[in-house]
Amino acid sequence: MAIRKVGTCRIVRELGRGGMGVVFEAVQEGLERRVAVKALDDKLSDTPEVVERFRREGRAYAQLRHQAVVTVHDLIEKDDSLYLVTEFVDGPDLARVLKQGGALPPDCVAVVGARMAEALDYIHFHKLFHRDVKPSNIMVSNDGDLKLVDFGIAKDQTADDLTREGVVVGSPAYMPPEVLYGGESDAKADIWALGVTLYELAAARRPFQGPTTEALIKAVRSGAYPRLRSLAPGVPRRLARAVERCLRKRPGDRWPDAGRLAAELERCSVQALRGLHPRARLVGLLTHRGFLQEEEALTRIDSKSLLASLVIDEAPVVVEQAPRPRRWPWAVLLLLAIGGGALLWWGRLRGAW
């Protein structure tokens, strides 16, 4: 039977399906507010571990108040089913943006990185680990806001872990070596996952790949991957260094915390944007890739910002050239040669005297 209403939320349409359930667009009556309703799959509702994990996702969301984290409105239990009501994001996730037009421009990568690192720093401060940072769990709204979503496998440091010993949760392509070896997923693991995500956004491929899960895990454990600028030469060196520091094999060699990573990526963002507002830049990106009509974009940003953003998107990739050694003008070299010859002649003349 189709779901028509959950609490005060009237279901409008299905948005997508995931491993734990279905997500709907709905309208919260009375407030006339668009919301998202995540329904736990009926087949999983008899599994206590899954039900508790779903409840914990709601509690994890509920304690967070950050602009880059989706806000939770309610957790509803109805007819032996669970529903999570959250803020509605009227835009695509970054996996779709990547699929639609390939690698993101470096300035957009820096903006995404700065906002997500800031969100992770906030989450870690509240003793939570996301454990599933990846492009499909980062959404960008039509207003240019970035939102981290899906706390379904988030870990609360203050609660017992629901994961059985020896069971790895999350996406192997975004997991660091220590987690794949069976270690704990913590703040350094979230930083690694963000590094993989930013690398993928900048190069349109992940740093570690393999035809099978086993081959992928072997690649991650080796720690060897192509340098980011070898695949995306237009990425500024400073941004590439920030991303690659997230991917160091030893956790202690990565960024000390997400806050310092956020500060560095913010500096990269400011340099790359050259005065363009981060949100305006993302609205321009969505417009250029067909997620927004130009008329709709102009209700959010001015025409100058939209044009500047589109010019950046359509510009050819500029490869940074290594500084060339300074060449002395030939005239200076000639004068030095003449001067040296004169000194030699003068020395011989004095010796003859």
pLDDT at residue 147 above 90? Answer: yes
pLDDT of 4-31, one tens digit each?
A: 899 999 999 998 887 677 899 999 998 9
Which H/E stretch holds residue 302?
none
Between vectors from CA 93 to CA 87 and to CA 95, what angle results, nearest 5°? 160
What pLDDT digit, counting tens, does each position of 52-97 carry? 777 776 777 778 889 999 988 888 887 778 888 999 999 999 999 9
User: What six digits make up the tokens of 246?
Assistant: 């997230």
d(CA 326, CA 232): 27
| Residue tagged 């102009």 (tokens) | 298
Region of 166 on the Ramachandran plot (φ > 0 left; ψ -120 to 50 alpha; else beta):
left
DSSP code of residue 29: T
Residue 164: pLDDT over 50 = no
Average pLDDT over residues 164-172: 55
Name the residue among 179, 171, 194 with its Cα closest to residue 261. Answer: 194
Mean pLDDT (whole number) for 300-327: 73
Pairwise CA distance, residues 21 & 41, whole Å = 4
Model pLDDT, residue 131: 87
The token duo for 135 is 């492009």
Residue 62 pLDDT = 77
**What is the chain's mean pLDDT, rounded?**
85
The whole-number pLDDT of residue 166 equals 39
Residue 325 pLDDT more than 50?
no
Which of 175 and 165 is assigned the larger pLDDT? 175
pLDDT tens digit sequence for 214-264:
999 999 999 999 999 999 999 999 999 999 999 999 999 999 999 999 999
Secondary structure of residue 83 in the 3-state scheme: strand
Pairing of strands 72-78, 81-87: antiparallel
Output DSSP code: residue 346: H
Rg, Å, the chain Cα set? 27
Which of 234, 229, 128, 244 lies closest to 187, judged by CA? 128
Beta strands (DSSP E) in the chain are: 5-6, 9-17, 21-28, 33-40, 72-78, 81-87, 128-129, 138-140, 146-148, 155-156
* Residue 315 confidence (pLDDT): 72
What's the whole-model pTM score? 0.83
Long-range contacts of 76-82 (CB under 8 A, 24+ apart): 76/6, 76/7, 78/6, 78/7, 80/45, 81/39, 81/40, 81/42, 81/45, 82/39, 82/40, 82/45, 82/51, 82/54, 82/55
User: pLDDT of 25-37, one tens digit each?
Assistant: 999 998 999 999 9
Catalytic site residue from 93, 107, 121, 132: 132
**Contact, 159 vs 56, CB < 8 A?**
yes
- Asked if 257 is an active-site residue, the reply is no
Per-residue pLDDT of 175-185, as tens digits, reads: 999 999 888 78
Helix axes 94-101, 278-288, angle to 10 degrees: 50
Say if residue 340's pLDDT is above 70.
no
